[in-house]
Structure 1
Amino acid sequence: ALIAALTSLLSLLIVVGNGLIIVSVALVKKLRQPANYLIVSLALSDFLVGLVVLPLTIVYDIMGEWVFGPNVCDVHVSFDVICCTASIMNLCMISIDRYLMITQPMTYPKRRTGKLMLLLIATAWLLSCLVIIPALAKLLNKFKIVSPGKTCLISQERWFTIYSTLGAFYLPLAVMLCMYWKIYLEASRFNSRHRLRSYSTISNPNPPVSPRNGAGSPPHSPDVSNDRRVDGMFERKRSLSSNNNYAHEKIIALKPTFHRPTVFNQIRRRVSLATSRDRMRNVKATRTLGIVVGAFTFCWLPFFIVTFLRPFACPIPEAQDCIPLWLVRFVLWLGYLNSALNPLIYIGFSPDLRETFRFLICCKCTNVDRRLAQIELRQAIAHERRNSVASRSYA
């Protein structure tokens, strides 16, 4: 009863969490952008795992044997492999997409269209189907996936085990770790440059700049002494004539010691600020990707280690006494746990998804875009007030 309750609760969390992500992106206009297509594909694969695969797996675990027959076992195992592998492949495509956003911030966003995202999604699902095709081909040749003893397992032949584990887990894991390592290096370099620029600005906020092209006198001009040079103001200079008995005043307009920014410099500064904001946003998204990759590795690595070693360590891999049944079931459900963690991670790091979830759970499905716009406006006003208070305190 305890196992049934826990596994049913996990299945419910997977269906509800991933279903809400799909509904949120479909309902909210702000979230319907190409960047979220891969997240929807990931949520769809996890949603199918919880809705189609897990109910039969729960019955299999409670009964202790497969009672649905060989044909249902073939479909169940095939669907399980395709959906779980699609979840892994979508995570791999998300890591590649994030790598291109970090390393090519000026060119890749223009190519990051809906067609490109759909192509990555189709590639992920196609690779997932290729993993199970050899087993299905053997099935057509009268080789059954169902093993003796009323157990439902995928083919335990060594060549297929090597092929399936490499294609479904180890190669995608290598790609994700490589992409994340390169993203981490790029983000570290950007953070170092950002800290150095901030330190230079704080240590020398108004550096003297020598005017050029006749814009004014240099900072150390002999005609104008330092004690009479005022930033951007007028200097009043009194001089007495040696031949006359009257004094006259001469007003000298001194040029400011800084350059008036040209249109080109203003545009370049705005582009630089926008690029910096985009890079900072990408760095924050990198943290989300790192947590997703870490959770994926933690959940699926034990299962694929057991799956890879089983045909080589057991004389009869299909026998239940080869590897303790509790260990096999534990690592399998640990892998299924990843499908429940993915929506929680994205909700935790996406304010828009979090607010949309809150509206959907509270049955406030109407005017979600307007509600989100009002929340963003209030946050922007509060942020502006904090900045003004901080600036006055600094002054």
Structure 2
Amino acid sequence: MLGLDYTYSSMDHLVDLSILSGMKMEFPDTDVGLLNFVKFLSMARDEANSSSVVLEPIVQVPILPSEYQTEDIVILSILATAMMILVIVGNMLVIIAIATESNLTNIQNWFIASLAFADLSLGLVIMPFSLAQELLGYWTFGSFWCSMHAALDVLLCTASIMNLCLISLDRYWSITCAIDYLNTRTKPRVFMMIVVVWGISAFISIPPLLGWKQSPDLSWFHTIHSQKEAMNASTTEFGMYLANEMSLEEFDNFTKVLEDVVFPKCQVSDEVGYVMYSALGSFYIPSCIMVFVYIKIYWAARDRVRKNCKVGKEDEQLKGKPKRVLIGGSSATGARKLNRMHCKENNVDNMNCNGWQGSSASNSKDNLVDTNDDNSISTSSGYQQTCGADIIKPRNIFNKLRLGRRLSKDAREIIDTGRPKIIWEPAAVTDDNGVASIEKEKKRIARQKERRATLILGLIMGSFIACWLPFFILYLVGPLCPICAPGFEGSCCVDGWVFSVAFWLGYSNSALNPVIYTVFNKDFRQAFKKILIK
């Protein structure tokens, strides 16, 4: 054993270690024991500097670096576990619905499926290990999985944000370049768009694995640490020796590095160049694109609603309306032909003539249909269109044939030619009150649509920015303002709990995405009910 005296060899020391010679201190001969002892010496020094109070014979030093008490750990575990369940269940429902429901397998939902896969993987692979590190205060799963975990964390978070950006671009192109874009939005092209998104995400996440990170030189630490075995000293003796031989700054540096070795942290590379590169690519550039695109979508949607309202008014006042519409052949085919004819005559945007909604065409042969007053076309098959004539009571011509009844001239002409016939009548003249009432109703509906569009776009952008912006602000300033630590002497630092809140707030966006992007869609709601009730 070493015979150590308790005097200082450096004027930097401010504590007389001789006061420790009579204390009962038991620290195991491990790195954890050495860490706790040198931290105890630092506490003794700080205590002696602040007052003349004599230290207690036995001082309790925390064994683990967790900043949370037992009650805090229980509460945080419940909250984080509930979030992970929402992420996993919600995104899994989205993927199952798109994969199993025929009315949800359209191409545009592939983007939502890609988003759900990224968020689901984040909840399954990343969040449980991040929660363990948050509660324990250190990473206990090895250096290899730390590197993979950090890379996958960046990959999946970036892919989630990039998919949100891709969804916004898809909606924007569908509105502003509808005919051209929808004709070119084929399965191979959509698949390639999704592959490009994941490729960009990988390009951002892989560089730290290839060496783009800070690797401090710790050779001096390992040289000093190896002296403990060479000296055959106990933990307390070696700690006293370090306190005697080192300056105050050297002792604090040794303590900090020893703590990082004993209780390592798994973090994304904090190299300044990579921080700038990943922050711009993962968040700032995609978010700027999303803000610009959704503003354009809002204005385009508002203009379309107002244009349709204006076109409806002019059509009703100037063009007149069909009194009777006779459709021959397949009801759906005839209705489509009639709709295109009517839209062409009334100079209505082609996009509004393609928005057929409803079930598939029925198998009925020939239908005689009348019109009502809101200038939209519908058939017995359930198809409906806003710029044609609304069909209310279809009557089957073949019923008259079976009963031997005489057909009208118009009905016979339909059977002979197989083409629809339209009999037009001038627009009915209404008083000012009637016209004002119709216009008031149309404006009310237009305002409702604008409010709904504003609400949906506000939820999309509001949740995205609220969840991710705090984290990426702290991430970007991290090299200049690191997380506060004991003994930190810089001019700027961030409290650990502030960074933790921002960190987990970003993860929460993966729980909100399946709600925001599906809850306003009736087909998704019905598919969720069908899956959960089974």
CA distance in 1, matches of 2:498, 2:214: 32
Contact 1:300 1:335 (C-alpha < 8 Å) held by counterparts? yes
The aligned residue for residue 85 of structure 1 is 158
Query: Are 2:481 and 1:313 aligned?
Result: yes
Task: Give the Å deviation of 1:114.
Answer: 1.1
CA distance in 1, matches of 2:467, 2:355: 30
Task: Give the Å deviation of 1:123.
Answer: 0.8
The one-letter amino acid of 1:97's match is D
The aligned residue for residue 75 of structure 2 is 2
The aligned residue for residue 342 of structure 2 is 266
Among candidates 111, 119, 125, match of residue 52 of structure 1: 125
CA distance in 1, matches of 2:305, 2:477: 42
The one-letter amino acid of 1:346's match is Y
Among candidates 275, 295, 312, match of residue 351 of structure 2: 275
The TM-score with structure 1 as length reference comes to 0.70
Contact 2:343 2:350 (C-alpha < 8 Å) held by counterparts? no
Q: 1:308-351 CA deviation, whole Å, 9 max, x = no partner?
A: 0111224xx69587421111111111111110001111231111
Query: Are 2:528 and 1:357 aligned?
Result: yes
Among candidates 155, 168, 186, match of residue 95 of structure 1: 168
Q: Which runs of 5+ in 2 are unaligned?
A: 1-73, 218-256, 324-336, 358-448
Contact 2:470 2:502 (C-alpha < 8 Å) held by counterparts? yes
The aligned residue for residue 393 of structure 1 is none
Among candidates 498, 511, 524, match of residue 327 of structure 1: 498
Equivalent residues in 2 for 1:128-277 (5 A)? 128-138=201-211, 150-201=264-315, 204=317, 265-266=341-342, 268=344, 272=348, 275-276=351-352
The aligned residue for residue 36 of structure 1 is 109
CA distance in 2, matches of 1:40, 1:306: 30
After superposition, the Cα gap between the structure-2 partners of 1:278 and 1:55, relative to the gap in structure 1 and judged at 3 Å, is farther
After superposition, the Cα gap between the structure-2 partners of 1:280 and 1:344, relative to the gap in structure 1 and judged at 3 Å, is farther
Contact 2:471 2:502 (C-alpha < 8 Å) held by counterparts? yes
CA distance in 2, matches of 1:137, 1:325: 29
CA distance in 1, matches of 2:298, 2:355: 13
Equivalent residues in 2 for 1:363-382 (5 A)? 363=534
Q: 1:249-284 CA deviation, whole Å, 9 max, x = no partner?
A: xxxxxxxxxxxx999733636994772276899987
Q: Which runs of 5+ in 1 are unaligned?
A: 209-230, 232-260, 364-395
The aligned residue for residue 341 of structure 1 is 512
Secondary structure of the 1:293 match is: helix
Contact 1:180 1:290 (C-alpha < 8 Å) held by counterparts? no
Query: Are 2:146 and 1:73 aligned?
Result: yes
Among candidates 452, 465, 470, match of residue 297 of structure 1: 465
Task: Give the Å deviation of 1:355.
Answer: 0.7
Higher relative contact order (CA 8 A, sep 6+): 1
After superposition, the Cα gap between the structure-2 partners of 1:65 and 1:280, relative to the gap in structure 1 and judged at 3 Å, is farther
Secondary structure of the 2:170 match is: helix
Task: Give the Å deviation of 1:175.
Answer: 0.9
Contact 2:115 2:164 (C-alpha < 8 Å) held by counterparts? yes
Secondary structure of the 1:152 match is: coil
Contact 1:42 1:86 (C-alpha < 8 Å) held by counterparts? yes
Task: Give the Å deviation of 1:14.
Answer: 0.3
CA distance in 2, matches of 1:97, 1:183: 11
Contact 1:288 1:346 (C-alpha < 8 Å) held by counterparts? no
Contact 1:302 1:331 (C-alpha < 8 Å) held by counterparts? yes
Contact 1:158 1:312 (C-alpha < 8 Å) held by counterparts? no
* Count of residues in Structure 1 that have an aligned counterpart in Structure 2: 309
The aligned residue for residue 445 of structure 2 is none
Q: 1:157-199 CA deviation, whole Å, 9 max, x = no partner?
A: 1111110100000000011111112222222221231232234
Q: 1:72-124 CA deviation, whole Å, 9 max, x = no partner?
A: 11111111110010000001111111111010122211111111111111011
Q: Which has the larger radius of gyration?
A: 2
Query: Are 2:200 and 1:127 aligned?
Result: yes
The one-letter amino acid of 2:277's match is Y
Contact 2:133 2:140 (C-alpha < 8 Å) held by counterparts? yes
The one-letter amino acid of 2:476's match is F
CA distance in 2, matches of 1:96, 1:289: 13
After superposition, the Cα gap between the structure-2 partners of 1:143 and 1:104, relative to the gap in structure 1 and judged at 3 Å, is farther
Task: Give the Å deviation of 1:286.
Answer: 8.3
The aligned residue for residue 108 of structure 1 is 181
After superposition, the Cα gap between the structure-2 partners of 1:29 and 1:206, relative to the gap in structure 1 and judged at 3 Å, is closer
CA distance in 2, matches of 1:299, 1:161: 19
CA distance in 2, matches of 1:121, 1:129: 13
CA distance in 2, matches of 1:135, 1:63: 25
- Share of identical aligned residues, percent? 33
**Greater helix share, structure number:** 1
